[in-house]
Amino acid sequence: MSISGFIGQLFAIVLALALAPLLTGWVNQCRAWLQSRSAPPLLQPYYMLHKLFQKDVVLAHNASSLFRTAPFVIFACMLLACAIIPSLSTDLPFAPAADTLALVGVFGLARIFISLAAMDIGTSFGSLGGRREMLVGFLAEPALLMVIFTTAMISQSTSVATIVETLAHRDFIIYPSLAFAGIAFTMVSLAENARVPVDNPATHLELTMIHEAMILEYSGRHLALIEWAASLKLYAYSCLGLALFFPWGIAEKDNFLGLIGAIPLLLGKLAVGGFALALIETVNAKMRIFRAPEFLGTAFLLAVLGLLVRLLLETRV
Amino acid sequence: MPILYSIDLLLVAACAWLAVGLAGLVAPRNMHLVAKVLFPVGAAIGLAAGLEALFFLGEAPETAVLVIGLPTLPFHLRLDSLTAVFVVLLGFASFGISIYAAGYFRQGEGASPGLLCLEYHFFLASMLMVLLADDAYAFMVAWEGMALSSFFLVTTDHRHEAIRRAGYLYLLIAHVGAIAILLSFGVMTGGAGDYTFAGMRAQELPPFWASAAFLLALVGFGAKAGLVPVHVWLPEAHPAAPSPVSAMMSGVMLKTAIYGLLRVSFDLVGTPLWWWGVVAMAIGLVTALFGVLYSTVQSDMKRLLAYSSIENIGLLAVGIGLALIFHAYRMETLAALAMTAVLYHCLAHAGFKSLLFLCTGSVLHATKERSLGKLGGLIHHMPWVAWLALLGVVASAGLPPLSGFVSEWLLLQAFLFSPGLPHSWLNMVVPVAAAVVALVAALAGFAMVKFHGIIFLGQMREPNLIHAHDAGPWERAGLVWLAFLTVLLGVLPSTVIGLIDAATQQLLGTGLAGKVAEHGWAMLAPISPDRASYMPLVFLATIAAAVLLGRWLVRRFYHGRLRRSDAWDCGYFFQGPRAQDTAEGFSQPIRRIFEPMFRMERHFPTVRDEQPYYSVKVEDHFWHWLYLPVARLVEWFSGLIVRVQGGRIAVYLLYSFLTLILLLLVARP
Amino acid sequence: MSADIPLSAQLINLCASVILLLAFAMLAQRRVMQLINLFALQGLVLCLSTLVVAVTTQQHHLYYSAGLTLALKALLLPWILHRLVRKLYVKWDVESLVNVPTTMLVGVVLVMIAFNVAQPISILSQTISRGTLGIALAVVMLAFLMMITRTKAIPQVVGFLAMENGLFLAATSATYGMPMVVELGIALDVLVGVIILGVFFFQIRDQFDSLDIRHMERLKDN
Amino acid sequence: MEFDLFLVLLAIPLVSGALLTVVGEREWAPNLNIIASGGTFLAAALLTADIIANGPRFALGEQFFIDSMNVFFVALTAFVGFTTSIFSGPYMRNEREHGRLSAPRLRLYKSMFQLFMFTMLVALTTNNMGILWVAMEAATLTTVLLVSLYRTPASLEAAWKYFILCGVGIAQALFGTILLYFAAERVLGETGNSLLWTHLVDVKGSLEPAIMALSFIFLLVGYGTKVGLAPLHNWLPDAHAEGPTPVSAVLSGLLLNVALYAVLRSKVLADGAIGGDFAGNLMMGFGLLTLLMAAFFLGRQKDIKRMFAYSSIEHMGLITFAFGMGGAVANFAGLLHMTMHSLTKSAIFFAVGHATQKTGTQLIADIRGLIRINPVIGWGLMLGTLAILGMPPFGVFASEFMILTHAMKYYPWATPILLLALGVAFAQIFGKVQPMVFGDTHAKRLPHAPAITPVFLHLLIVLMLGLWIPPYLTRWFEEAARMLG
């Protein structure tokens, strides 16, 4: 573990913590532009987090210890995810701790905790949200895993760092499988981050909401942590997508200059990605909840198809 | 030369278990003696056996021949690394379960304590003998003894019709399975008539007969393990038994079937053919998917877990299939990867499933209720059970950093490297199988959230749940032990793989230990860290640090103030327990998405109903596709045959007469 | 048959033929008293045939056999049966035999089968009466057939006893009789059997009000 | 001295049978019955020890011959007879107090029981194939009286069918015996030894094959009727179900064995004369047919004793099949299975007897929750049933294992049939017995405590033999198996 690696790792984590709310703010702003609304300030998420942290926690009488622990666990999971996804450099000392499969596991762990926390109060919306979250999860998770499988097969590794290194330094070969995987990944990301067309983070329309239904009972610092974790998740997914499909510019081992250079590149890519997300959210309509399995099923099938395409067309026999 | 070989010590353990069981009969009604003396002694024996096997791992096999048995075939015993791995599993899991049982069994529940003690320890001893047996007769005696003792344990509370039916179905399928196993042994002797395992190893079977032996073993051991379509007994029998017994059956007994399958397909039958692996994998996938889907829609907490066991057995079969495929193509390193995944998952499942079943036992004792629809909010009165169950739930959902994830990770790694197979068709199919495994793992999460969320969280669905109490000290100790194992298996995979690698070595000639050991105890990198690595301890430490640090920072920079109030719930005023999801409601999306997989009977309320209600009953397709037709066929044939006994003496005489004439005319030397 | 068959053999063959004839007669006989009489007659002819063998071969124990046959089969058993019939008031019982000609036809087929089966063995016989083995087997089979076709208890028992006659014929014709101790044992068994059956008849009539065995069809599985 | 021992063995049941007839039903009559049976068992045990030590011997001239094969059956018969007499003491007393049996009937029962034992012992020990026949017929006669003991319409019907069918059957056996004599006389001459087994065995190779084949067919059909081979078995369920339970126990446990013993003796001769597999194939065919039919019969039974009667048929089929295969291992297995079946089935009938007395019915549907009325009987029936179904560690499994493995080796085509039958039998019997033993009930207590010792004594022996067969027993079985060729 080199010093530069360690600094890079620490920097990546701090950057994630700092940038994640900004990304959320950026997406909201882009969306407002696209929808011809007047946009909230770019730094609105920071204000909100600060305000929430200051507020008292109002806890339902029925809330258990699990309810109070969950936000911290979820936040920690997302932080870990951000720590192992190469955003600036592939030289991450934490990376061997968890490969892509473990990354999916981290998201799964967070999902289980948030769903359980949602069921803890015992309200109608809470359990509804928990159930729907698990519904989305059980389809999104294997789809994500299949996407990862496709990339892992190309690079013969499940380690995120190795995948990125391989993909970034390959000779220019068109991988049709990656196209499938990319589309599937986008669909999964939309679902996982509670975006239109699967969910809408902006409303509390009780019959359609998923994520918001789960966190209805949270308040104060708990809600702040969950919101922050949600931002981190969006950031993590964005970075993962960028790392898998647009890996150019991510610094390698012992390349401090590259690290410096990677920052603006990352900001640029995130900005474009955020805009794309806002665009997708704008041009699509929210689906009925029972269309969501179809949507995610399609993602799953696309990912499997990508895998098959990889095996059929791209392996040298 | 040691004075006492390990195998002798294990034999002593089996005898000691039997003795403990028989001691229960001395004072069959003395609850105190049985619970506070005999069960702990049994637990200690289990721990000792487990430790003994643990230290034995990697040593040269030991054999023994006993005086008992058939005159031509006395009991042959053998202790090798494969056996030792499963003895470790048996010993360690049984230690926790026995400790728990010491606090669990109460007076006046079904059979007398002494009898229970006998059946329970007979069960343990027979499982140990199954693992040690080295000839067909000893194996079958132990195997059926295991079935028999567990049957009596299942029917402990035999006053319920459903439990009797469950017991019947269980023993019947176990017996049919045993017949298949016996046949498989018979085929493997290759006509030489040597029924020792050594004799079977020595036989070189032609591919047809080898395949027959493998398929028979798959059916026979599958019937015990719960592979589709011979799984139907499992969701009936496991919930029927008292919880420690369910734990023992799910956690340990099913693994003896896996042991048998491994023993036959990798040790006794000789070189496998590649398509065996495909068959095992296909059945495993169907089983896993079937098990997890049915698990999500159950309304009885123990049935939910039982179906989850079916799912896990399916995953194990997938792993065995993968190992077989690799082994058949002589890709031993990958075979070792899959085999390690299988063995690891056996250990992991033994830990977390026993833990979960024992938790249901505590819930059952505290509430007298098994139906999910009548539970809820128990975390307030049973924090110990709830939090320990959460560990089991996370492990069972295959999530890091607990034990279930490690084995799933290893299995997926094995899948990832399958494209090296010299068979293009397989190359296509195997990754799709991986997709199904991924789906199963995700669905397992769904089922587990339902299990934990509905039992322990939310509002209490029945008013009497307020009297629920947490598990007693004995029960708690058992739970903690199993939870400890689950965590240990989750965070120290390299160490554990180093231990169980002896079995992989024995079966495949190569193992992972060398590679794994290169990277130290904290990192698991079975091939190389570039390709895949996992450091659960770092993982766990990071999350724990983040949680604690986050908590501290928040309090440091802001405050820790907290108020209690009514729930918000978007302002709805009705917030009674009925507003929560029921068990059926929670799984409604699954039922809807996978509708063809279930056979459902639903009743919808109509406007005109005086007392409107909604009900849904999910049934197993296989009952109607396989079992009922077979039963009807037998019934029909019986109806045909009994006409022979029509009551008329003249007809009887005619039979005799015709037999005689026929023989006189036809039979010629 | 050639002319060099000794007279004794011819006599034995004649007796055997008569026994076979009587067996057919019993097969077709409907009335119970007549049936018993035919049975007695068969016993008598059997005794005669045994006597002929005894005289021809000078086997002493065959004299005892003949005496035993006479006493038991021609006298004692018919007497017991007569008594039973009278006591049970079934003197006028008539069997409702279905289709006597068919039964006879089946009987003829049976005789053919019996002869066919016995043929290769008869050739091996060193006794003077070797042809009679086939007849004995035929008598056994006809008695069997009779038991199948009868629906009353007493005729069925008569059929059973007629079967013993066939067996006895076989014993004398093929082997000049079994060892004495065995024959005595067989005779004792038959006698005890008939006595037990006699007791049975009363009990059956008490319980079923009839000796029709078609009443006894309640123990069945279908 | 040893001469006397054998005479004692035969004399005890004969004399006590006569004595019990004369003295009638007294307070001590059941005890006399037990003492007599115990004495018989003692004599049998001593005789067995003697034979093991000194080898086979003749008795009463050459008319009786005791070798290691039949002394094994003698010991078994005397043992089961003894335990049955212990069992029948309280059982019959209960029957009397229920008003089902009167004092004269009890007298008849006891004397006939002793005479039945006598006929069986004679059948087993005789050296003369003719006397074997006589004793078998006498055994039929005594048991006919025992079956009809209740004098109910059903028991009379059963006894009548038993008598007629077995009478006719055994008549075929007589014809077979005559043919055997006929064949033997050609070789041995008119020495009067032509029915003596010891002489027959010496010359079996030179007996005329054609005659012996015919003879064996008749003997097989004849004695096979008594064994209960399908389709000659029809008398068996009726007789078992309608007789008193101790009689069912000895019918299943002993009479069938003795009949099979007669078939085996015939088979040895037939094999010697004909060579090849003629006799063996016939027996295998009958065995499989019997096994299969009995298994499917089981499902439709409503009467518990009737069901276990079919189970006896099933096991007789299996044993016949085993002996049909021949060879040292199969014969060993067959003998072992006969022993196991005798012990287990009689134990089951003891338990069933008590159960039916407790509940006052033989209908399966009406017997429930035995384990609650009387745990010992309930467990006895449960364990006995599991034992008879071939569950390890009981000894029935040991013999079934040997039969199955032997069949797999030499007659693989038969294995599926065997397994199908065993599987179906398991499903049917266990499905019916389990609800009888388990569940709730309200049945009354009995005036006389049941005799439980025999049940568990038998099961204990069966259990022991499943795990460990003592070496001397093994040697003994092996010797007997070798004799069977």
- Residue numbers in B near D481 (CB within 8 A): none
Which sequence spans correspond to the domains of chain C?
Answer: 7-219
From C56, C52, C42, C13, select the one nearest C166 (Cα to Cα): C42
Structure tokens at C33: 């008293």
Beta carbon pairs, A and B, within 8 Å: 283
Contact D151 C203 (CB under 8 A): yes
Map residue D196 onto helix, strand or coil: strand
* Residue-level pLDDT at C2: 46
- Residue numbers in D near C149 (CB within 8 A): none
Confidence bin at B107 (pLDDT 50/70/90) = low
- Residue numbers in C near D237 (CB within 8 A): 219, 221
* Residue-level pLDDT at A317: 44
Confidence bin at B669 (pLDDT 50/70/90) = low
Contact B539 A102 (CB under 8 A): yes
Residue B2 has pLDDT above 60, yes or no: no
Encode pLDDT of B52-105 as tens digits.
999 999 888 999 999 888 888 899 999 999 999 999 999 999 999 999 999 888
CB proximity B71 to C under 8 Å: no
Calculate the CA dihedral of residues A69, A70, A72, A74 and round it to 10 degrees. 160
Q: Is the peptide bond before B422 cis (omega within 30 degrees of 0)?
A: no
Contact B649 D408 (CB under 8 A): no
**Least confident range of A17-26, B631-640, C59-68:** C59-68
Closest-CA residue of chain D to C175: D182
Task: Identify the H or E element spanning D482.
Answer: helix D471-484
Contact B638 D296 (CB under 8 A): yes
Closest-CA residue of chain D to C198: D160
Task: Tell me whether chains B and A touch (3+ CB pairs under 8 A).
Answer: yes
Residue B630 has pLDDT above 70, yes or no: yes
* Residue-level pLDDT at D228: 93
Shortest distance between the Cα of C218 and any Cα of chain B, in A, equals: 6
CA distance C199 to C204: 9
CA distance A222 to A52: 8
- Residue numbers in C near B661 (CB within 8 A): 110, 113, 141
Name beta bridge partners: D19: none
CA distance D3 to C58: 36
DSSP string, D296-309: HHHTT--BHHHHHH
Stretch B126-139: mean pLDDT: 94
CA distance B152 to D430: 13
Q: Strand (E) positions, chain A?
A: 57-60
% of chain B residues with pLDDT over 90: 57
Give the one of D131, D141, D178 whose C-beta lies nearest to C181's C-beta.
D131
From the first residue on, what is the mean pLDDT of each consecutive set of 10 residues in chain D (485 residues)?
Answer: 74 91 82 91 91 84 85 91 91 86 89 94 92 93 92 91 92 92 83 83 88 92 93 92 92 93 92 88 95 92 92 96 91 93 94 88 87 85 93 90 89 91 93 88 68 87 89 85 83
Map residue D59 onto helix, strand or coil: strand
CA distance D434 to D231: 29
In this predicted model, which residue has the larger pLDDT, B456 or B574? B456
Other chains touching C, judged by 3 or more CB pairs under 8 Å: B, D
Contact B530 A157 (CB under 8 A): yes
Task: Tell me whether chains D and A touch (3+ CB pairs under 8 A).
Answer: no
Encode pLDDT of C141-153 as tens digits.
999 999 998 888 8
CA distance B475 to D75: 54
- Residue numbers in C near D64 (CB within 8 A): none
Residue keyed to tokens 């230290």: B55
From B208, B147, B206, B196, select the one nearest B176 (Cα to Cα): B147
Confidence bin at C127 (pLDDT 50/70/90) = low
A276 touches A195 (CB < 8 A):
no
* Residue-level pLDDT at D219: 95
**Least confident range of A13-22, B565-574, B652-661:** B565-574
Structure tokens at C168: 């006895």
Closest-CA residue of chain C to D193: C179
Task: Identify the H or E element spanning D371.
Answer: helix D370-373
- Pairing type for strands B62-69 and B74-79 reads antiparallel
Closest-CA residue of chain C to D213: C121
Map residue C75 onto helix, strand or coil: helix
Rg (CA), chain D: 21
- Residue numbers in C near D297 (CB within 8 A): 221
Stretch A174-191: mean pLDDT: 88
**Least confident range of B377-391, C122-136, D404-418:** C122-136
* Residue-level pLDDT at A187: 93
Rounded to the nearest 10 degrees, the angle between the axes of helix A220-245 and helix A65-84 is: 30
Taking phi first (over 0 means left), then psi (-120 to 50 degrees means alpha), and beta for anything else, what does residue D55 get? left
* Residue-level pLDDT at C1: 44
* Residue-level pLDDT at B476: 93
Cα dist from D79 to D84, D117, D308, whole Å? 8, 11, 21
ipTM score of complex = 0.90
Contact B650 C148 (CB under 8 A): yes
**Least confident range of A21-35, C31-45, C177-191, D289-303:** C177-191
Name beta bridge partners: B563: A58
Map residue B524 onto helix, strand or coil: strand
B334 touches B481 (CB < 8 A):
no
In this predicted model, which residue has the larger pLDDT, B179 or C9? B179
Closest-CA residue of chain B to C220: B647
Encode pLDDT of B410-425 as tens digits.
999 888 877 777 877 7
Shortest distance between the Cα of A266 and any Cα of chain B, in A, equals: 24
CA distance D478 to C50: 46
In this predicted model, which residue has the larger pLDDT, C29 or B282? B282
- Residue numbers in B near A132 (CB within 8 A): 589
Give the one of C182, C221, C222 whose C-beta lies nearest to D195's C-beta.
C182
Confidence bin at A314 (pLDDT 50/70/90) = low
Please provide the average confidence, as pLDDT, over all residues in chain B.
90
* Residue-level pLDDT at B617: 85
Please provide the average confidence, as pLDDT, over all residues in chain A.
86
Most confident of B432-436, C176-180, D90-94, D423-427: D423-427
Cα dist from D301 to D294, D296, D425, whole Å? 11, 10, 12
CB proximity A267 to B under 8 Å: no
Contact C124 D208 (CB under 8 A): yes
